[in-house]
């Protein structure tokens, strides 16, 4: 076994014996011994970190996660608590523990750009870990705990700088961003040395079971076998697996997941409703014309843009018009052009937006309480703001591209003045809005975990009211199909990862 020792003390002692340097204070000598004794780590097991964090009171489930990850998972794990249970706190506890125990000297924390500051604040203030934000001209040799955005890290020359370093612990927040193994991010993390490693995501499966396979293969290649053996052992296809009990057990060896109801904390209820909406006759006519596009000309046969158009039509004419206008520019044949122009004409003549009316109806029912509307489209965001304004309801927009100041400003405006916040998808990470308890999913995403992320903005620690979720879906349109697929995906998640809190109804 390797024994490390240093001759430093011996040399210092020799200098004193030869009277070349003065002896030290007897009082300080005793104090030094007492301090060493008091701070001694006498057991391989157990957590030291809580003693060092007098101003933080971690919740029982958070301490349990930290202990499990260190003792049973050897410091390599996916932290997959439901949104709002404090995964950052868990990761902070683990990092702190390793720092105290001297097992980690250097740590790298990769997060979405919008969360860099939040991480720095938490680590510095709650955990007293002097974490630095990575800057271009920093020499990583001198940084012990660095926070940077994954998007920066994966690019040259940062990538190379990072590979040169010897990081002991890698933490990746919102790790579901690595679900696609063909991306640059995935490749970057795959080639990163991961001695201890924490992947944080509330949603380890977003669409299909292979995402989890690839995530675990980043953390611990081989744990689920290689791709072929995984596929055959579990007869895995995207939305189906067999032997799921066995798979679940394997997954649980590298993943911890707390659900709200396991935490022993009193959670407010979550009431989820699907609200079916009927198009008006005129809206339906436009929708059908759009659905017919693929039979009109091969120019429109691209399934993806057709589906996009259908979804947009379920949202607002503003969103639809933008895409149609783009299409028009690509058309060369006169008949195609006139077909599209006809649709645009009918679209622009629409006076009623059934979905917006339903949203307004819900807002006016909640007695002045705050409401968040999530939409997939910027066009709809702008339209809704105008529409609600015309009904005397004040609202603020929100999206992920806002910088930190603007986000905080909008959040404050929403809290103090406006009744409604209208957010696009990218706005659903990293804002916490416990003061609001009504969420309207104006458009449905393909991915059920996006719904969970959205709801997680309000249904988290600190929420005092029951949370009401309204999922709007227009009947006999693509939204029926989206709903079906959402149910299937939730099924896969529950089979492999575990139960999910209600997100559809």
Q: By CB under 8 A, tell whether 103 contacts other proteins.
A: yes
Cβ distance to other proteins smaller for residue 131 or 347: 131
Q: Would you count residue 28 as binding other proteins (CB under 8 A)?
A: yes
Query: Is residue 259 close enough to count as binding other proteins by CB under 8 A?
Result: no
Is residue 36 a contact residue for other proteins (CB under 8 A)?
yes
CB nearer other proteins, residue 10 or residue 136: 10
Residue 35 engages other proteins in binding (rule: CB under 8 A): yes
- In this structure, what DSSP letter does residue 126 have? I
The interface region with other proteins, picked from 26-34, 240-248, 259-267, 388-396 by CB under 8 A, is 26-34
Task: Choose the stretch contacting other proteins; rule: CB under 8 A; options: 29-37, 108-116, 354-362, 416-424.
Answer: 29-37
Distance of alpha carbon 217 from the chain centroid: 20
Pairing of strands 420-424, 467-474: unpaired
Q: How far is the CB of 187 from other proteins (least distance, A)?
A: 9
Binding test (CB under 8 A) with other proteins, winner from 17, 348, 349, 352: 17
Instruction: Determine which residue in the list 20, 37, 135, 281 makes contact with other proteins, applying CB under 8 A.
Output: 37
Outline where DSSP puts E strands in 380-458: 395-398, 420-424, 438-441
Sketch the per residue contact string, 177 through 196, with other proteins: x for CB under 8 A, - otherwise. Answer: -------------xxxxxxx
Strands 270-277 and 169-172: unpaired
> Burial, 329: exposed, middle or buried (Cβ in 10 Å; 0-12, 13-18, 19+)?
exposed
Closest CB to other proteins among residues 20, 136: 20
According to CB under 8 A, which one of 60, 105, 125, 130 is a site residue for other proteins?
130
Q: Which is nearer to other proteins, 195 or 465 (CB)?
A: 195
Exposed/middle/buried for 181, CB within 10 Å: 0-12, 13-18, 19+? middle
**Total residues interacting with other proteins, rule: CB under 8 A:** 66
Find tokens 């020792």 and name the residue. 5
Q: How far is the CB of 273 from other proteins (least distance, A)?
A: 45
Q: What angle do CA 299, 300, 306 make, to 5 degrees?
A: 155
Measure the N-to-C terminal CA separation of the chain; round to a whole number of Å. 59
Select from 101, 239, 294, 378 the one that contacts other proteins (CB under 8 A).
101
By CB under 8 A, tell whether 31 contacts other proteins.
yes
154 binds other proteins (CB under 8 A): no
Judged by beta carbon, residue 24 or residue 484, the one nearer other proteins is 24
Any contact of residue 142 with other proteins (CB under 8 A)? no
The label of the residue with tokens 């015309």 reads: 390
Assess 4 for contact with other proteins (CB under 8 A): yes
Q: What is the H or E stretch that residue 343 is in?
A: helix 334-349
Shortest distance in whole angstroms from residue 8 CB to other proteins = 8
Asked if residue 422 lies in contact with residue 398, where contact means CB atoms within 8 angstroms, the answer is yes
- DSSP secondary structure string, 136-174? TT--GGG-SEEEEEHHHHTSTTHHHHHHHS--SEEEESS
Q: Is the C-alpha dihedral spanning 465, 435, 403, 378 positive or negative?
A: positive
> What's the closest the beta carbon of residue 183 comes to other proteins, in angstroms?
15
* Residue 40 interacting with other proteins (CB under 8 A): yes
Find the binder of other proteins among 5, 135, 136, 281 (CB under 8 A): 5
Q: Are 297 and 334 in contact (CB under 8 A)?
A: no
**Adjacency order of strands within the sheet including 420-424:** 270-277, 467-474, 438-441, 371-375, 420-424, 395-398
Which one, of 383, 300, 289, lies nearest residue 336 by Cα? 300
Interface map 194-233 toward other proteins (x if CB under 8 A)? xxx--------------------x--xxxx-xx--x----
| Residue 32 touches other proteins, criterion: CB under 8 A | yes
Instruction: List residues binding other proteins (CB under 8 A).
Output: 1-6, 9-10, 12-14, 16-17, 23-33, 35-45, 51-55, 70-71, 74-75, 96, 101-103, 128, 130, 168, 190-196, 217, 220-223, 225-226, 229
């Amino acid at each position: 076994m390797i024994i490390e020792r240093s001759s430093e003390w011996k040399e210092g002692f020799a200098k004193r014996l030869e009277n070349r340097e003065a002896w030290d204070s007897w009082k300080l000598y005793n104090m030094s011994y007492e301090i060493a004794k008091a701070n001694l780590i006498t057991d391989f097991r157990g957590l030291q970190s809580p003693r060092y964090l007098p101003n933080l009171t971690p919740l029982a489930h958070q301490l349990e996660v930290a202990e499990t990850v260190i003792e049973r998972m050897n410091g390599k794990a996916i932290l997959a608590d439901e949104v709002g249970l404090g995964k950052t706190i868990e990761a902070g506890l683990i990092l702190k523990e390793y720092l105290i125990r001297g097992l980690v000297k250097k740590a790298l924390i990769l997060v979405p750009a919008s969360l860099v500051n939040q991480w720095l604040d938490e680590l510095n203030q709650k955990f007293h870990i002097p974490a630095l934000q990575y800057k271009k001209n920093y020499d990583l040799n001198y940084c012990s705990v660095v926070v940077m955005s994954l998007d920066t890290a994966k690019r040259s020359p940062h990538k190379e700088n990072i590979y040169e370093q010897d990081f002991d612990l890698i933490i990746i927040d919102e790790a579901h961003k690595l679900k696609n193994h063909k991306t640059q991010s995935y490749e970057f993390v795959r080639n990163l040395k991961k001695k201890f490693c924490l992947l944080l995501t509330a949603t380890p499966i977003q669409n299909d079971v292979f995402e989890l396979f690839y995530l675990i293969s980043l953390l611990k290649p081989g744990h689920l076998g290689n791709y072929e053996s995984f596929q055959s052992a579990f007869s895995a296809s995207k939305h189906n697996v067999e032997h799921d009990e066995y798979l679940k057990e394997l997954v649980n060896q590298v993943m911890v997941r707390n659900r709200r109801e396991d935490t022993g904390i009193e959670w407010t209820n979550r009431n989820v409703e699907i609200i079916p909406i009927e198009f008006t006759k005129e809206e339906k006519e436009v929708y059908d014309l759009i659905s017919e596009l693929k039979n009109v000309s091969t120019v429109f046969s691209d399934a993806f843009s057709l589906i996009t158009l259908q979804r947009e039509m379920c949202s607002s004419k503003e969103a639809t018009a933008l895409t149609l206008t783009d299409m028009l520019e690509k058309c060369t044949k006169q008949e195609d052009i006139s077909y599209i122009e006809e649709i645009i004409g009918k679209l622009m003549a629409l006076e009623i937006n059934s979905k917006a009316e339903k949203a307004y109806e819900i807002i006016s029912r909640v007695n002045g309480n705050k409401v968040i509307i999530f939409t997939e489209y910027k066009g709809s965001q702008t339209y809704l703001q105008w529409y609600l304004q015309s009904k005397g309801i004040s609202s603020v927009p929100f999206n992920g591209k806002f910088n930190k100041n603007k986000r905080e400003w909008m959040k404050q405006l929403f809290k103090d003045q406006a009744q409604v916040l209208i957010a696009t998808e990218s706005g659903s990470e990293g804002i916490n809005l416990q003061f609001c308890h009504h969420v309207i999913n104006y458009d449905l995403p393909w991915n059920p975990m996006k719904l969970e992320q959205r709801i997680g903005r309000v249904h988290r620690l600190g929420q005092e009211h029951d949370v009401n979720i309204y999922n709007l879906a227009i009947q006999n349109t693509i939204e029926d199909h989206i709903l079906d697929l959402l149910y299937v995906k939730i099924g896969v998640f529950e089979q492999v990862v575990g139960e999910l809190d209600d997100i559809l109804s």
